Structures are given as structure tokens and as C-alpha cells.
């Protein structure tokens, strides 16, 4: 560990708003810290929309081999479980007179660890951390699954140490005062945070502050996960905190746009070049990462160094194109097989084939640009051969779901008529456009852009990433549903755990939106590798009328702005580059266009832009005359559920006396007689009841429940006895925080389903469930949160046709469901 002295001085950043303040003072601590103190200085511009305390900090020089540095943040808010036991008047010096729990909000998620000082003897402490507003619990296999422990003591200083690397994802911290003999003074509660030196070279701003926040939140999510030698994939230590090759694709994409840390991205490409995590698509995402890097840097030497490696991956995709191996994983969405549960069926398999075609095409383009005609021709032939085979069915696109259609659109081979069909069939439903994984949502955004549906793309940005901000996010999540906002009690509630396991709220695979905003909304994209030539083509849809920003290139920052209301823009072209600048004409009759005060020629593009070409190095001012009102593309659409929230109801009064109210057509009483022995009366209209992934479901029977009013009365005539069992999720096994019940109906007539939840031990269970179409796996209803079911609770909703019910653990030892009733 880095220990220049026993008393290490730690630089402090005290955030009093979304924007962090400069270092205030130094605190002397007796804790030996693992890394040296922050060497950056606050020489950049403040960005109110950024959650990053270091957004305006700059290092004089950064290297891919730089080690980590540390900085400290203080809490913005402190509360006590027993207000009379704690004097919170001075948050730097809290006097505690009785046992209580102190909760601290540090304002944003950080990569760090909790520390504090206390000189008072004979005080017993525990401490906790979390990304959300309750002490975190994670899966078995973590070094410390319960993120609560007795802090390590160093003299009169304390540090919560939960893993060998110390850091976790921390938005909230707790100090639990378990016992004390006299009033205690707790001083300097703080997070010591780690960072890899990296500078914000790119930037983004527009007249929609939420989009600006999204750009910076994506960048911050990546910055927090940068480790000494590679891009990390998750902040919380839950046993999978290592490099994930596919995850790095979107994280590196965001870094290209935000940081331009090209040498470190190269280092990560080399680091992950021999890894695919056993996931077929991740090999292709690595190739796409290499192509992103080449397009942004023009580094032909690294492309040549890794070409053989890329060819092996591309050839493997060709060899097993017709007879696919196990995919293992394509995304957490139900329509992709729910992660590792069941990804080997038509939709993810077709998506993988489309991904292969698109990757062959992009690699062929790069090879041709690099002068390797032989390889360019080879992979063009691969793509053409499989595209031709696909088109033997002239309506090949009709069977595609959202994700296969996404990869088909991104593959770049569709004709205008096919593109129109893909857009109409697969991207017109606002709800179904949303992926459970924001990772896959990035590819959906790319597809919407390629299909020209920028207004729908911005709606999807709002639903996915804007929804996370409304949830309270300061970093982007591993998975997310917009309806989480409808069932939360407050911002930053504990998230729904699910097929991904215990949900991470700081997952850089969700940051691809940052690059998308730079390339599509700001519109700066390389046309030749290394930005030798680039385009500026702002896609202003919805309410957008102004955008400005910069993208790092090897030659300097490419900057651009466009304000349609003011009828002006600007452009900075780095030395050695050439650019074109495009002005949208939606609703306008554009007259003379001026470049640096002089009228200039502009040609009209097929999609209605005025394009100024051949703009050389330097700073340029652009203005234009126009008549009319700027009316960007804007579609009115809402999220519509087939089973809306008002179709759900709760009953906490009936408890176990169900016969006269529920189950008139059938029922399942789980583990009623013994564990795993269910009482079943299958409704005539239900062909089958199947428990998918049965081996991941637990079964319990409460032998002492016979006299409990929550226990269900017997279904047998003349038998007044009661019994209670349940199917339960098998927490804390990783990814077993869910259980599914598939109901295969004989017809599409409506019927009522009632789930009976009973938290028999009154263990604080909180659960959620989702309802899907069993055939298409499309989401039918908003997520429903089941709280406070210690006394037993029925949740009833109306369905029609075949459905899948996925029950998820949120808090408590597991999720427990004791019965399903049909009416």
C-alpha cells in the first residue's frame, strides 16, 4: 500500500451542488491509503449538468500506465434514525448520545470507501455502504456479500474494508452506533475515492438539459470504472468485477467521445484481445471496438497488429453461422432469453447472424481503407453470401423481433423498402423499443438513427436514460425499466433484482448513449480514419433547436455548434483535418449561407440538409438567412401497456380465507403439503403451468403455520385445516434472484390471475413481478412492487392469452409466493 507517512494527507472535495467545489482543506488521517493524492488541478470549465466531482479537473499529462490516485468527498446530507440521539448541526462534527443509525448522502455514486474519525473511547461501530438508499446486500461469492461490517480501526480513525481493493460503489454510507458509554464525537465522515487520471476532452451541450446530463452521466459512469490497467465493468464487488470484453465495447465508445484517452483504449483492446468471456457475440463486439478505435485514431499500426486476431474471430463467426454454437448470452432482456437462462432460440440467434454480417462489412471497409484489398474482398464476400442467402425469402424481415431487426438495420445491407418495413414492424411501439439492458439499447439507438427515426430515438433516450435520471441516478444502471419510477417510494430506492442477479447501479456498459449523442445529435463523425475528414451533421429532432460540443481527435478537438433560432453555427477543424458542415432545413427556406462572413456554396443532400464541403483547418463562423419556422421531426407517442397499472389491485384483508373470493376456475397452492408438493386444480382454459428454470426455484413448507390466519385453508371439502408453503427465489446464489411461471392458455379470452404473497417470517421481504406475453416475450404490464406482505397479500390483475410471470427479489431473504388463483 502507498504509505508516504503514517499520517497521510488527503485532498478533500466538498460538493454542495451537482457541481463539485475545489479542494477546501486538508485532513490528517491515521489510515494508510493505497494510492497517492490527486494531482489534477481545477483548470477546466464547470459543468452544472455533470455529476462528476472531477469534471473540471485536469492532469498536466496522462499516460495509459498511470496508477490510481485518491480524492475525498464529504456528505451533502446527514440524517439519524433517532434524531434526539444525534446533533447534526455541524456535519463535520456529529455528537451522538445514544445508539442510532447515521445515514450520509454523498450526492453521487463514487468509487471509494467510507472513513471517519472518533476520539471517544468504548464506542462500538458498524458501518455500511450502498449505491441506493438502504445498506446493500449482494450475492454469494462476493468477498463480503453484506455490505455492512465492523470498520477497521487505525488509531482514532476508522475505515470500512469490504474487499481487498477497498473500493465499492458508494452513494450512501451509514455509521451504526451499537453501544457507547458516554456521548461520542464523530468527525470528518468522508469517502476516499479512487480515479485513473483522465481528462474530459470532449463535451456536449444543448437546449435540453436532460440530454446534457445524460451525456455527462454516461461519461462519469465510465470514468469511475477506469482501473490502472483496464476498463472495469462494475463498481460493486459481487464476484464479477473483472473485464468483460463485450461490456468494454460501449464503455470504450463513450470514452472515445468524452475523454479521447486513445492510448488507454488501445491498452484495453490488447488486454481483452484474447478474452470473449465464453460469449459468442462478445468476440464480434471486440472487433467492432477495434474498428471504433481505428476510425477515431487512424492508428493503422495497431489495426495491423490485431488484424490476425480479428480475422480469427470473424472466421469463427462464418464457420458456425449456419449451425450456431451455444450463444450463452445476448442481453438480459426477456426477448433475448433473459441473460444466461435460455438465449439459444431464434431471436438471439438471428440477431447474432445479423451482427456477424454487419461486422464483416465494417471490417471489410476498414481493410480497404488500410490498403488490404485481399481481406476487404474476403469479408465482403462473407457478408454478400449470407445476405444473398437471407434474401431467398423476399420477406426475410417479417419474423424478426426488436433485437434481430436492430442488428439487421445496423448491418447496413437493407434496401430502402426493407428499411421501411423494419421501422414499421419493429420500432413503432415505444414500450417495446426499450431494452431491459441499456447495453443493448445503444444498438437500438444506432438502428433508429440508421433508419432516420431520430425523434423516436430521442423518446427512447428519455425512456431509458432519462428514466434512470428520474429514478435518482448519477451513474447508469445494469438494467432498467421505465416503470421502476412508478413503483418507487423515493429516489434511489433499492432496485429490482432479477436474472442479472443483484442489480448494479454503476455499469459502464450502459454508457454508449454518450457516444451516440456526440455522433448523432451533435453530429460529429469521422468520414476517414483519424478524422482526416469528418462531418458535422446535427440531428435536431423533437424540441431540439441548439447543440454544441467537441469530440477529441488525434489532431485536436473537433468543435461545432448550431443554433437554429439564432441562424448561426461554428466549427473548429483541427490542423490536418478537413470537414463538412450540414444545416437542417426542416420547415425553413434557407437562403444565403455565410462561412466566415462570406457567401459560400452549399449542396442539398438527399435527406434535406444544406452541406458546406471542404472546410479546412481553423475556427469558422457560420450563419445563414432563412424564412419560416424550424420544425424538426417530432412524433407524438406514449408508452402503452396492454395490462395497464389500473388493472392491478391488492387485498391484504382476506389472508388465508381464499375460497369464496379466489380460485373459482383453478389454483396452485405452493408446497402446501410438503416442500415441492403443490396442491393443483388446473383451469380448463390453461393448457399447462410450467416453472421455467425449475432447478433455480426453491420450495419451502412452513410446518408450524397450521394455526396462522395467513395460512391457506384446505381446498378439500369438509377439511377446515390450514397450511402454507411457498416457491422462493434461491438467494443469495448469483443470478437466482428470480423465478418464472409460464401459463399456456388455450384461447385469448380475458381471465383474472391472483398471486398470494406471504412473508411468513415477517423478514422484511419486498418483491416485484413482471408479466410477459409467453409467445413473444414482450412486456405486457408495468413492474409491480409488492411491499409489506408480512400479513399476507393478494395481487390481482387481468390477462388474456398465454403469459409468463417473473417474480423478483428486491429486499429480504428472498421472494416468496404461496399461491396462484384463477378466476
* Residue 137 in domain: yes
User: Tell me, what CATH number does 124's domain have?
Assistant: 2.60.120
- What is the DSSP-derived secondary structure letter of residue 679? E
The answer to whether 239 and 142 are in contact (CB under 8 A) is yes
User: Tell me, what CATH number does 573's domain have?
Assistant: 2.60.420.10
State residue 16's pLDDT score: 35
The better pLDDT of the pair 695, 359 is held by 359
Kindly state whether residues 558 and 478 are assigned to the same domain.
no
Nearest CA to 252 out of 215, 292, 217 is that of: 292
Kindly state whether residues 561 and 584 are assigned to the same domain.
yes
Residue 545, all three cell numbers:
433547436
Between CA 751 and CA 772 the distance in angstroms is 15
Nearest CA to 600 out of 569, 555, 566 is that of: 569
What 323-329 contacts at long range (C-beta under 8 Å, 24+ apart), as own/partner pairs, is 324/280, 324/349, 324/352, 324/353, 325/280, 326/280, 327/279, 327/280, 327/281, 327/352, 328/278, 328/279, 328/280, 329/279, 329/281
Percent of the chain past pLDDT 90, that is, above it, reads 94
Of 627, 657, 682, the position where a domain reaches its end is: 627
Between CA 144 and CA 128 the distance in angstroms is 11
Cross-strand pairs, 411: none
Sign of torsion, CA 484 489 493 495? negative
The answer to whether 738 and 768 are in contact (CB under 8 A) is no
pTM: 0.96
The pLDDT-based confidence of 158 (bands split at 50, 70, 90) is very high
Residue 37, all three cell numbers:
493524492
- What is the DSSP-derived secondary structure letter of residue 575? T
Between CA 489 and CA 264 the distance in angstroms is 41
* Residue 316 in domain: yes
Burial class (CB in 10 A: 0-12, 13-18, 19+), 650: middle
- Can you give the three-state secondary structure of 155-216, one letter per residue? CCEEECCCCCCCCEEEEEEEEEEEEECCCEEEEEEEEEEEECCCCCCCEEEECCHHHHHHHH
The overall average pLDDT reported for the chain is: 95
The answer to whether 643 and 783 are in contact (CB under 8 A) is no
Dump pLDDT digits (tens) for 784-812. 999 999 999 999 999 999 999 999 999 99
Kindly state whether residues 301 and 222 are assigned to the same domain.
yes
Between CA 703 and CA 602 the distance in angstroms is 81
Q: How many helices (H) and strands (E) does the chain have?
A: 14, 41
* Residue 4 in domain: no
Q: What size, in residues, is the chain?
A: 823
Residue 2 has pLDDT above 80, yes or no: no
Residue 397 has pLDDT above 80, yes or no: yes
Between CA 482 and CA 574 the distance in angstroms is 41
Dump pLDDT digits (tens) for 23-41. 334 478 889 999 999 999 9
Kindly state whether residues 767 and 714 are assigned to the same domain.
yes
State residue 687's pLDDT score: 97
State residue 29's pLDDT score: 84
Kindly state whether residues 600 and 485 are assigned to the same domain.
no
Dump pLDDT digits (tens) for 93-127. 999 999 999 999 999 999 999 999 999 999 999 99
* Residue 399 in domain: yes
State residue 25's pLDDT score: 45
* Residue 633 in domain: no
Of 521, 548, 565, the position where a domain reaches its end is: 521
Query: Residue range 424-443: average pLDDT?
Result: 98
State residue 15's pLDDT score: 35
Kindly state whether residues 583 and 700 are assigned to the same domain.
no
State residue 24's pLDDT score: 39
State residue 11's pLDDT score: 35
Tell me which of 116-130, 456-470, 692-706 is least confident: 692-706
Kindly state whether residues 391 and 453 are assigned to the same domain.
yes
State residue 694's pLDDT score: 83
Query: Where do we find the cell 481505428?
Result: 294
Kindly state whether residues 609 and 675 are assigned to the same domain.
no
The answer to whether 815 and 700 are in contact (CB under 8 A) is no
Tell me which of 309-313, 527-531, 543-547, 626-630 is least confident: 626-630
Dump pLDDT digits (tens) for 529-583. 999 999 999 999 999 999 999 999 999 999 999 999 999 999 999 999 999 999 9
Find out whether the peptide bond into 415 is cis, omega within 30 degrees of 0. no
Q: Which residues contact 308 (CB under 8 A, 6 or more apart)?
A: none
Helix, strand or coil, per DSSP, at residue 763: coil
* Residue 640 in domain: no
Q: How many domains does the chain have?
A: 4
Dump pLDDT digits (tens) for 719-730. 999 999 999 999
Nearest CA to 137 out of 221, 237, 225 is that of: 237
Kindly state whether residues 658 and 799 are assigned to the same domain.
yes
- Can you give the three-state secondary structure of 286-345, one letter per residue? HHHHHHHHHHHHCCHHHHHHHHHHHHHHHHHHHHCCCCCCCCCCCCCCHHHCCCCCCCCC
Kindly state whether residues 405 and 438 are assigned to the same domain.
yes
The pLDDT-based confidence of 349 (bands split at 50, 70, 90) is very high
* Residue 635 in domain: no
Kindly state whether residues 335 and 209 are assigned to the same domain.
yes
Helix, strand or coil, per DSSP, at residue 121: coil
Burial class (CB in 10 A: 0-12, 13-18, 19+), 798: middle
Between CA 133 and CA 494 the distance in angstroms is 7
The pLDDT-based confidence of 10 (bands split at 50, 70, 90) is very low
Between CA 674 and CA 516 the distance in angstroms is 54
Residue 400 has pLDDT above 50, yes or no: yes
Cα 27 to Cα 72, 194, 209: the distances in Å are 10, 17, 36
Domain range for residue 130? 14-199
The answer to whether 574 and 567 are in contact (CB under 8 A) is no
State residue 454's pLDDT score: 97
Of 457, 492, 521, the position where a domain reaches its end is: 521
Kindly state whether residues 178 and 209 are assigned to the same domain.
no
The answer to whether 212 and 48 are in contact (CB under 8 A) is no
Percent of the chain past pLDDT 70, that is, above it, reads 97
Cross-strand pairs, 636: none
User: Tell me, what CATH number does 209's domain have?
Assistant: 1.50.10.10
* Residue 289 in domain: yes
Between CA 522 and CA 557 the distance in angstroms is 14
Amino acid at each position: 500500500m502507498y504509505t508516504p507517512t503514517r499520517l497521510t494527507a488527503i485532498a478533500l472535495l466538498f460538493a454542495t451542488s451537482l457541481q463539485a467545489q475545489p479542494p477546501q482543506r486538508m485532513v490528517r488521517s491515521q489510515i494508510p491509503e493505497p494510492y497517492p493524492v490527486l494531482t489534477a488541478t481545477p483548470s477546466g470549465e464547470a459543468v452544472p449538468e455533470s455529476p462528476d466531482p472531477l469534471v473540471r479537473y485536469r492532469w498536466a499529462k496522462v499516460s495509459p500506465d498511470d496508477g490510481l490516485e485518491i480524492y475525498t468527498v464529504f456528505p451533502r446530507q446527514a440524517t439519524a434514525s433517532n434524531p434526539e440521539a444525534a446533533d447534526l448541526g455541524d456535519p463535520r462534527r456529529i455528537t451522538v448520545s445514544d445508539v442510532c443509525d447515521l445515514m450520509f448522502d454523498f450526492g453521487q455514486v463514487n468509487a471509494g470507501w467510507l472513513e471517519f474519525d472518533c476520539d471517544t473511547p468504548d464506542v462500538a461501530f458498524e458501518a455500511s455502504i450502498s449505491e441506493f438508499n438502504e445498506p446493500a446486500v449482494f450475492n454469494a461469492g462476493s468477498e463480503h456479500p453484506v455490505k455492512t461490517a465492523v470498520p477497521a480501526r487505525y488509531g482514532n480513525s476508522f475505515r470500512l474494508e469490504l474487499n481487498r481493493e477497498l473500493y465499492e460503489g458508494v452513494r450512501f454510507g451509514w455509521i451504526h452506533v451499537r453501544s457507547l458509554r458516554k456521548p461520542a464525537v464523530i468527525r470528518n465522515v468522508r469517502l476516499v475515492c479512487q480515479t485513473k487520471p483522465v481528462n474530459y476532452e470532449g463535451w456536449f451541450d444543448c437546449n435540453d438539459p436532460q440530454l446534457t446530463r445524460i451525456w455527462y452521466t454516461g461519461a462519469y459512469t465510465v470514468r469511475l470504472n477506469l482501473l490502472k490497467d483496464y476498463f472495469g465493468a462494475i463498481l460493486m464487488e459481487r464476484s464479477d468485477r473483472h473485464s468483460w470484453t463485450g461490456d468494454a465495447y460501449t464503455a470504450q465508445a463513450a470514452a472515445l467521445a468524452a475523454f479521447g484517452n486513445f492510448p488507454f483504449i488501445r491498452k484495453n483492446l490488447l488486454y481483452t484481445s484474447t478474452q470473449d468471456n465464453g460469449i459468442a457475440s462478445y468476440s464480434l463486439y471486440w472487433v467492432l471496438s477495434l474498428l471504433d478505435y481505428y476510425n477515431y485514431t487512424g492508428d493503422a499500426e495497431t489495426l495491423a497488429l490485431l488484424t490476425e486476431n480479428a480475422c480469427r474471430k470473424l472466421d469463427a463467426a462464418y464457420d458456425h453461422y449456419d449451425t450456431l454454437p451455444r450463444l450463452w448470452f445476448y442481453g438480459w432482456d426477456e426477448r433475448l432469453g433473459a441473460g444466461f437462462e435460455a438465449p439459444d432460440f431464434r431471436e438471439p440467434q438471428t440477431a447474432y447472424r445479423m451482427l456477424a454480417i454487419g461486422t464483416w462489412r465494417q471490417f471489410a471497409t476498414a481493410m480497404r481503407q488500410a490498403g488490404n484489398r485481399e481481406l476487404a474482398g474476403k469479408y465482403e464476400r462473407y457478408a454478400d453470401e449470407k445476405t444473398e442467402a437471407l434474401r431467398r425469402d423476399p420477406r426475410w424481415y417479417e419474423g424478426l423481433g426488436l433485437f434481430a431487426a436492430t442488428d439487421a438495420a445496423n448491418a447496413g445491407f437493407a434496401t430502402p423498402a426493407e428499411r421501411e418495413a423494419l421501422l414499421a414492424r419493429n420500432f413503432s411501439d415505444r414500450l417495446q423499443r426499450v431494452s431491459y439492458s441499456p447495453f443493448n439499447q445503444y444498438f437500438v439507438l444506432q438502428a433508429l438513427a440508421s433508419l432516420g427515426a431520430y425523434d423516436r430515438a430521442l423518446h427512447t433516450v428519455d425512456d431509458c436514460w432519462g428514466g434512470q435520471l428520474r429514478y435518482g441516478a448519477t451513474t447508469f444502471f445494469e438494467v432498467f425499466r421505465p416503470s421502476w419510477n412508478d413503483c418507487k417510494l423515493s429516489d434511489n430506492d433499492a432496485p429490482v433484482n432479477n436474472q442479472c442477479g443483484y442489480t448494479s447501479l454503476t455499469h459502464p456498459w450502459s454508457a454508449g448513449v454518450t457516444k451516440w449523442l456526440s455522433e448523432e445529435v451533435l453530429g460529429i463523425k469521422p468520414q476517414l480514419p483519424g478524422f482526416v475528414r469528418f462531418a458535422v451533421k446535427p440531428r435536431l429532432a423533437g424540441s431540439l433547436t441548439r447543440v454544441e460540443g467537441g469530440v477529441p481527435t488525434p489532431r485536436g478537438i473537433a468543435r461545432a455548434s448550431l443554433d437554429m433560432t439564432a441562424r448561426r453555427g461554428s466549427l473548429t477543424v483541427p490542423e490536418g483535418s478537413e470537414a463538412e458542415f450540414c444545416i437542417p432545413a426542416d420547415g425553413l427556406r434557407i437562403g444565403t449561407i455565410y462561412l466566415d462572413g462570406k457567401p459560400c456554396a452549399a449542396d442539398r443532400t438527399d435527406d434535406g440538409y444544406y452541406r458546406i464541403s471542404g472546410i479546412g483547418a481553423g475556427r469558422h463562423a457560420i450563419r445563414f438567412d432563412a424564412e419560416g419556422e424550424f420544425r424538426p421531426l417530432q412524433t407524438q407517442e406514449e408508452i402503452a401497456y396492454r395490462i395497464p397499472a389500473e388493472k392491478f389491485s391488492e387485498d391484504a384483508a382476506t389472508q388465508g380465507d381464499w375460497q369464496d373470493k379466489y380460485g373459482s376456475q383453478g389454483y396452485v397452492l405452493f408446497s402446501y403439503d410438503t416442500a415441492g408438493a403443490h396442491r393443483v386444480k388446473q383451469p380448463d382454459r390453461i393448457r399447462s403451468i410450467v416453472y421455467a428454470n425449475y432447478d433455480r426455484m426453491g420450495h419451502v413448507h412452513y410446518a408450524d403455520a397450521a394455526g396462522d390466519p395467513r395460512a391457506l385453508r384446505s381446498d378439500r371439502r369438509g377439511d377446515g385445516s390450514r397450511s402454507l408453503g411457498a416457491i422462493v427465489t434461491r438467494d443469495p446464489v448469483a443470478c437466482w434472484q428470480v423465478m418464472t411461471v409460464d401459463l399456456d392458455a388455450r384461447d385469448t379470452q380475458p381471465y383474472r390471475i391472483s398471486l398470494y404473497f406471504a412473508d411468513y417470517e415477517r423478514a422484511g421481504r419486498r418483491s416485484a413481478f413482471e408479466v410477459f406475453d409467453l409467445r413473444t416475450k414482450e412486456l405486457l404490464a408495468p413492474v409491480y412492487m409488492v411491499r409489506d406482505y408480512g400479513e399476507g397479500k393478494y395481487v390481482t390483475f387481468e390477462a388474456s392469452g398465454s403469459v409468463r410471470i417473473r417474480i423478483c427479489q428486491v429486499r429480504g431473504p428472498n421472494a416468496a409466493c404461496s399461491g396462484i388463483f384463477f378466476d
